[in-house]
A and B are shown apart, each in its own frame.
Chain A
Amino acid sequence: MIGKALSHLLLLFLLSPLLLGVIGKTKALFAGRWGAPLLQPYFDLWKLARKEMVLSETTTWVFLAGPLIGFIVPPLAALFIPFGALPAPVSFNGDLILFVYLFGLARFFTAGAALDTGSSFEGMGAAREVTFSCLAEPTLLFVLIVLARLAGDLSLGAMLGPTLQPAWHQAGAALGLALVSLFVVLLVENSRIPFDDPNTHLELTMVHEVMVLDHSGPAFGLILYGAAMKLFVLGAVLVRMALPMTYPSFWLNLAVFIGGMLALAVLIGVVESIMARLRLIRVPQVLVGTTLLSAFAMVLLLRQ
């Protein structure tokens, strides 16, 4: 099991920055540029790791706890979910709740670190982030409940296990709605367009980015790495739902998973390229709409 867990984590640590590279490349091509190299996120992390860290005198340990917990949580959460057909290393009944609230814990500390600086910008960012997250949370839970009901099991390993493929034949409509809802949650949770703009430098409009304005050097590196891994973990759930096939060959399963993840990154890049960001005031409305969509998925399932 330890070997499985290690290979799981190795995959996560090695591949997660690549997703950001693929997104960046896709966006660059849409903008008519060559863009930064695919491996740029790795270079950035290496650069930040060697930099000096500037700490404000007004901050406390909370300021550093934010990046640290934001970095630790995604690998922990990754242990509960299968990467494609590669089974989850850790699985127990009800681990889906732990999965959801591990990210809640990370968010709590990120927001705490932002408030710790006492900056009005970071306070605004923290307020926006928690507002959006608490509106996105019901959607995530509804999606997981749909999966749990289909699998008849409350562990993520089983919900995203081999029973998923027959479930598409049995309840395709419900799963389809759940998939769309999960994609929206993925965009919100990872502060992507149309909900947030990861590339903006305008402190008044930022959501996630403004919360980490004061972090620098290795601490900022941890934040970026943690964010990349969060995208990878949530993306893995989405990819598994969309590509539920299980093959006898380990390598084929791995190839399907990695191919799916890269396709997801391209899809995110395309979405970011072809649409503008929503007005901040519209974001909650969209999220409530998504919650209704996911609730509808569950209703469809219960009717059967």
Chain B
Amino acid sequence: MIPNGCLSFRPGETLKLADIRPLPYADYARALLDLVAAGGRLSACFADAVDDSAKLALYALIARDRQGDLVLLKTAIGESFPSLTPECPQLHLFEREIAEQYGVIADGHPWFKPVRFHQAWISGRDAWNRPSDRRPLVGEMDFYRIDGDEVHEVAVGPVHAGVIEPGHFRFQCHGEEVMHLEISLGYQHRGIERLLIGGPRKATPFQLETAAGDTSTGHMTAYCQVIEALAGAEVPPRGEALRSVGQELERLANHVGDLGAIAGDVGFLPTSAYCGRLRGDYLNFTSELCGNRFGRGLVRPGGTLIDCGRELADLILKRLESVEYNTRGAIELMFDTPSVLGRMEGVGLVSQEAAEQLGLVGVAARACGLRRDIRLTHPTGAWRGNFDTIPQETDGDVNARAQIRRRELYAALGWVKKQLKKLPEGPHLIPPGKPGANLFTAALVEGWRGELVHVALTDDTGRFRRYKIVDPSFHNWNGLAMALRNEQISDFPLCNKSFNLSYCGFDL
């Protein structure tokens, strides 16, 4: 059952823009809250400027995991709108994002601050009345502060001690205990969504492959699914299979790297050293496949740009044998060492309730006992009918997140071997036609971190009038902040690694 006036569709299907009727805001709010109460997840929420009108169209895309579909809601808003965040915390960042992009105010938003610190897309408007003659500085806002004689504040970043992306973390501590962590990002904002308006252009695939550099294949696959849906094109089975291999290799490289990094953080040398090397091996497999270690240039609309011949597949399969043996050895060693387990268990807890309220996705959600995996609930491509189990842990701590990675690793190894052993015959690429005009579509892909959402709206000529990207990190950074509540500040790096979220995927 879906509320009146909402549209239900499956990923890969298109809707005609004319068919999407705006609801009155009160109906929109009720429908949204009802859907979320019934187990729906907010996958995306964004606004779009309406031609020659001061009003904005507001869209909310809700994924229903049990039904395997998406529900689209639309309403119109003026210069301000009543915030729904108090009833639905998942909306928290989405509402701040809309406010920042269009200079509108979310009335009653409990944490109304900028997200990425850029000027509003509509000139002359700003939700915080910041001066319009200069770009806002990143981090220019009032941080949450706890006062008291024994309370101290620790600021970390944006420049970190390791070679990682920039982000600012503000801890309110009582001794070694963290009472609150506020995360302020935006340093890597490149304005990708605005760049894409009027696309697709020649540069578009390259821009999307770098939306979050460690999820190149994932983001590119989502983009391709959008283009294919808009053009009504089919992808040949061989292309689908190769895409899934690219994605699982990406998952393997990142999960192995993450487990190594977790081992490094707890000072467990052997796994840390071996996983660092093995990550390179997995990246090299991707490089063998497409010439780039991060999978750039592998996936293109209509399939994959590069084919994988029998010889190459056999070569990868052969090398995979020893790499798999070493991977299992390094990882099992870590999970067999009591001092490592003692360091991970019970640290960085996120309750299932909090995970559900924040709308966590991917590894972080599955570690809290939530059954969230696009490959299972909204399968596309090679996953359709081929994926039936997802690993789940219930503890919600660092150990659970590490265990999820370990189990997904082994599953991904099996997947890559299975696909490479019998690649479907036929072409690997059938270029799609031009995107249709005045359409709406959404693509969901389970990247290695979690759900990637790409939404596109086309104009009269079939060009993007709005393109929305939601990286899993957008949902999950708040999970990290929650995981640090009442934790030791010395455990922050470990908790951070166990989430390993993307800064640029958030900043876009």
Contacts and interface: CB of A to CB of B under 8 A. Distances in A.
Contacts of B488: 279-281
A276 B274 contact: no
Interface string B242-280: 000000000000000000000101111110111001000
Given A32-B274, A121-B154, A279-B343, A194 B267 contact: yes
A33 interface: yes
Given A33-B273, A276-B266, A279-B342, A120 B490 contact: no
16 contacts: A31-B269, A32-B277, A121-B154, A124-B489, A194-B339, A201-B161, A201-B162, A204-B154, A204-B489, A205-B491, A276-B268, A276-B340, A278-B342, A279-B342, A279-B490, A280-B176
Contacts, number: 88
A120 B493 CA distance: 16
B315 interface: no
Interface residues of B, number: 32
A31 B490 contact: no
Interface residues on A, range: 20 to 34
Interface string A195-227: 001011111110000000000000000000000
A27 B342 contact: no
Interface of A: 27, 30-33, 120-121, 123-124, 193-194, 197, 199-205, 272-282
B156 interface: yes
Contacts of A202: 161-162, 265, 493
A277 B156 contact: no
A120 B343 contact: no
Contacts of A27: 269
Nearest to B345: A279
A279 B176 CA distance: 12
Given A31-B272, A200-B267, A276 B337 contact: yes
Contacts of A279: 342-343, 347, 488, 490-491
Interface string B463-503: 00000000000000000000000001111111000000000
Nearest to A273: B269
Contacts of B390: none
Contacts of A272: 267, 269
Given A276-B337, A278-B339, A197 B267 contact: yes
A274 B338 CA distance: 10
B194 interface: no
A282 B488 CA distance: 11
A36 B380 CA distance: 49
A272 B339 CA distance: 12
Given A120-B154, A276-B342, A278-B342, 4 more contacts: A123-B152, A204-B489, A205-B491, A276-B343
Given A30-B269, A120-B154, A202-B161, A275 B493 contact: no
A159 B155 CA distance: 49
A123 B270 CA distance: 32
Contacts of B154: 120-121, 124, 204
Contacts of A31: 269-270, 272-274
A280 B490 contact: yes
A265 to B, nearest CB: 16
Contacts of B153: 120
Interface string B215-254: 0000000000000000000000000000000000000000
A120 B273 contact: no
**Nearest 10 interchain pairs by C-beta:** A31-B273, A277-B267, A276-B266, A202-B493, A280-B490, A276-B268, A276-B339, A197-B267, A201-B161, A275-B339
B185 to A, nearest CB: 18
Interface in B320-372: 337, 339-340, 342-343, 347
